[in-house]
Structure 1
Amino acid sequence: MANRIKAQRTDRHKRKIDIYLILILVLALFLYGWNIWNAGTANTYYTAAIKSMTMSWHNFWYGAFDPAGYITVDKPPVALWFMAISAKIFGVHGWSVVLPSVLFGVGSVFLLYKMVVPKFGPIPARLTALAMTLTPIVVADSRTNNMDATLVFFLLLAGWFLQKSVYTHKVRYLLISFALIGVAFNVKMLQAYMVVPAMLVYYWIATRKKWTKKLGWATVAMVFLAIFTLIWPLAVDSTDASKRPYIGSSETNSVMELAFGYNGSQRLLGQSTGTGSRFPGMSGSKESGTSQMGGYGMQAPSSTGTGSSTNNTGNGAGNPPSNGAGPGSSTTGTGGSTNNGAPQPPSGMKNGKMGKGGAAGGAGGGAFDIGTAGVTRIFQTSLGRQVSWLLPFAIIGILSSFVYYIDRKRHWYQMSDQQKEIIYWVGWLVPVFAFFSVASFFHPYYMIMLAPPIAALFGIGAYTAYKQFKESSLKKWTTYLLPLAFLSTIALQAYYVYAYYPWLTWILIGGSILLSILGFGLRSKKNFKPVGIVALILLLVSPGWWSLTPTLASESAQIPTAGPDLLTQGSGGGSAGSMDQSISTSMLNYLLKHQGNAKYLYATSDTGSAAPVIIKTGKAVMAIGGFNGTDPSITLKEFKKLVAKGEVKYYLASGKSSSSAIAKWVAKYGKAVTISSSSSTSKSSSTNNNAQGQPGGGMGGDQQGTLYYLSPSIAKK
Structure 2
Amino acid sequence: MTLLASRDEADRTAPPARGTPADPRWVRPSLAALLLATAVLYLWNLGESGWANAFYSAAAQAGSLSWKALFFGSSDAANAITVDKTPAALWVMSLSARLFGVNAWSVLVPQALMGVGSVAVLYAAVRRTSGPAAGLLAGTVLALTPAAALMFRFNNPDALLVLLLTAGAYCVVRALEKASPRWLALAGVAVGFGFLAKMLQAFLVLPAFGIAYLIAAPTSLGKRLLHLLGALGATLISAGWYLAVVALWPAADRPYIGGSQENSLWELAFGYNGLGRITGDEVGSVGGSPNGGWGGTGWDRLFGNEMAGGIAWLLPAAAVALAAGLWFTRRAPRTDGGRAALILWGGWFVVTAVVFSYMGGIIHAYYTIALAPAVAALVGIAGTQLWRARGNPAAAGTLSAGIGLTALTAYLLLARQSDRLPGFAIAVLVAGLLCAFLVFFASRLPDVARRLVALGALVTVLAGTGVYTVATAATPHSGALPSAGPDTGRGMRMGGGGLLGTSLPGDELAALIRRDSANYTWAAATVGSNNAAGYQLGSGAPVMAVGGFNGTDPAPTLEQFQEHVRKGRIHYFLGEGMMMRGETGSDAAERIAAWVADTYEPTTVDGVTVYDLSR
Alignment of 1:242-641 (within 5 A): 242-270=252-280, 272-276=282-286, 282=287, 292=290, 295=292, 353-355=293-295, 372-405=296-329, 414=334, 416-440=336-360, 441-468=362-389, 470-473=390-393, 477-501=394-418, 502-520=422-440, 522-526=442-446, 527-555=449-477, 558-566=480-488, 579-593=501-515, 595=517, 597-641=519-563
What's the CA shift string for 1:250-289, capped at 9, x where partnerless? 111011100011101221122532235xxxxx59xxxxxx
CA distance in 1, matches of 2:492, 2:591: 38
CA distance in 1, matches of 2:561, 2:433: 69
CA distance in 2, matches of 1:387, 1:176: 29
**TM-superposed deviation, 1:242:** 0.8
What's the CA shift string for 1:182-210, capped at 9, x where partnerless? 11111100000000111111111121222
Show the counterpart of 1:33: 43
CA distance in 2, matches of 1:397, 1:12: 27
**TM-superposed deviation, 1:639:** 1.4
User: Is the Cα–Cα contact under 8 Å of residues 44 and 580 in structure 1 kept in the other structure?
Assistant: yes
CA distance in 1, matches of 2:595, 2:41: 50
Cα separation, partners in 2 of 1:223 and 1:520, compared to 1, 3 Å: closer
User: Is the Cα–Cα contact under 8 Å of residues 401 and 461 in structure 1 kept in the other structure?
Assistant: yes
Matched, 1:191 2:189: no
**TM-superposed deviation, 1:583:** 2.8
Show the counterpart of 2:15: 8
User: Is the Cα–Cα contact under 8 Å of residues 142 and 149 in structure 1 kept in the other structure?
Assistant: yes
What's the CA shift string for 1:106-131, capped at 9, x where partnerless? 11111111111112111111111110
Cα separation, partners in 2 of 1:471 and 1:238, compared to 1, 3 Å: same
CA distance in 1, matches of 2:480, 2:137: 30
CA distance in 2, matches of 1:203, 1:69: 43
Alignment of 1:89-104 (within 5 A): 89-104=99-114
Show the counterpart of 1:650: 572
CA distance in 1, matches of 2:88, 2:369: 19
Show the counterpart of 1:209: 219
What's the CA shift string for 1:452-504, capped at 9, x where partnerless? 11101111121233234x3124xxx4431122111111111100001212512
CA distance in 2, matches of 1:557, 1:614: 15
Using the TM superposition, name which of 143-152 and 206-215 deviates more.
Answer: 206-215
Using the TM superposition, name which of 632-641 and 168-177 deviates more.
Answer: 168-177
Matched, 1:44 2:71: no
TM-score by length of 1: 0.78
CA distance in 2, matches of 1:516, 1:161: 35
**TM-superposed deviation, 1:650:** 2.0
* SS of aligned partner of 1:246: coil
TM-score by length of 2: 0.90
**TM-superposed deviation, 1:621:** 1.1
Show the counterpart of 1:122: 132
| Amino acid of the structure 2 residue aligned with 1:670 | Y
* SS of aligned partner of 1:162: helix
Matched, 1:707 2:613: no
CA distance in 2, matches of 1:153, 1:478: 32
CA distance in 1, matches of 2:481, 2:430: 35
CA distance in 2, matches of 1:463, 1:259: 40
Show the counterpart of 2:602: 672
CA distance in 2, matches of 1:595, 1:520: 71
* SS of aligned partner of 2:503: coil
Identity %: 31
Task: Give the unaligned 5+ runs of structure 2.
Answer: 581-586
Cα separation, partners in 2 of 1:617 and 1:8, compared to 1, 3 Å: same
**TM-superposed deviation, 1:551:** 2.4
| Amino acid of the structure 1 residue aligned with 2:345 | W
**TM-superposed deviation, 1:558:** 3.7
Matched, 1:663 2:593: yes
CA distance in 2, matches of 1:224, 1:8: 32
* SS of aligned partner of 1:471: coil
Residue number among 24, 28, 43 corresponding to 2:34 in the alignment: 24
Cα separation, partners in 2 of 1:56 and 1:234, compared to 1, 3 Å: same
Cα separation, partners in 2 of 1:46 and 1:480, compared to 1, 3 Å: same
Alignment of 1:230-241 (within 5 A): 230-241=240-251
**TM-superposed deviation, 1:245:** 0.3
What's the CA shift string for 1:647-670, capped at 9, x where partnerless? 123211256247621111111112
Task: Give the unaligned 5+ runs of structure 1.
Answer: 277-281, 284-290, 296-352, 356-371, 674-697, 713-717
Cα separation, partners in 2 of 1:418 and 1:90, compared to 1, 3 Å: same
CA distance in 2, matches of 1:572, 1:545: 26
Cα separation, partners in 2 of 1:666 and 1:419, compared to 1, 3 Å: same
**TM-superposed deviation, 1:354:** 3.0
* SS of aligned partner of 2:468: helix
Show the counterpart of 2:167: 157
**Bigger fraction of residues in helix:** 2
User: Is the Cα–Cα contact under 8 Å of residues 189 and 263 in structure 1 kept in the other structure?
Assistant: yes
Cα separation, partners in 2 of 1:556 and 1:111, compared to 1, 3 Å: farther
CA distance in 2, matches of 1:563, 1:596: 43
**TM-superposed deviation, 1:442:** 1.1
CA distance in 2, matches of 1:239, 1:581: 33
CA distance in 2, matches of 1:452, 1:520: 27
**TM-superposed deviation, 1:597:** 2.5
CA distance in 2, matches of 1:640, 1:572: 31
- When the two structures are aligned, how many residues end up with a matched partner? 588
**TM-superposed deviation, 1:618:** 2.9
User: Is the Cα–Cα contact under 8 Å of residues 43 and 578 in structure 1 kept in the other structure?
Assistant: no
Cα separation, partners in 2 of 1:155 and 1:635, compared to 1, 3 Å: same
CA distance in 2, matches of 1:459, 1:626: 43
| Amino acid of the structure 1 residue aligned with 2:24 | R
CA distance in 2, matches of 1:612, 1:246: 20
**TM-superposed deviation, 1:39:** 3.1
Cα separation, partners in 2 of 1:5 and 1:182, compared to 1, 3 Å: farther
What's the CA shift string for 1:501-555, capped at 9, x where partnerless? 2512221222233333444455412222211211211111111011111322244
Cα separation, partners in 2 of 1:657 and 1:147, compared to 1, 3 Å: closer
| Amino acid of the structure 2 residue aligned with 1:9 | P
**TM-superposed deviation, 1:89:** 1.0
Cα separation, partners in 2 of 1:554 and 1:582, compared to 1, 3 Å: closer
CA distance in 1, matches of 2:383, 2:347: 19
CA distance in 1, matches of 2:414, 2:432: 15
Show the counterpart of 2:584: none
Alignment of 1:678-697 (within 5 A): none
* SS of aligned partner of 1:448: helix
CA distance in 2, matches of 1:96, 1:500: 33
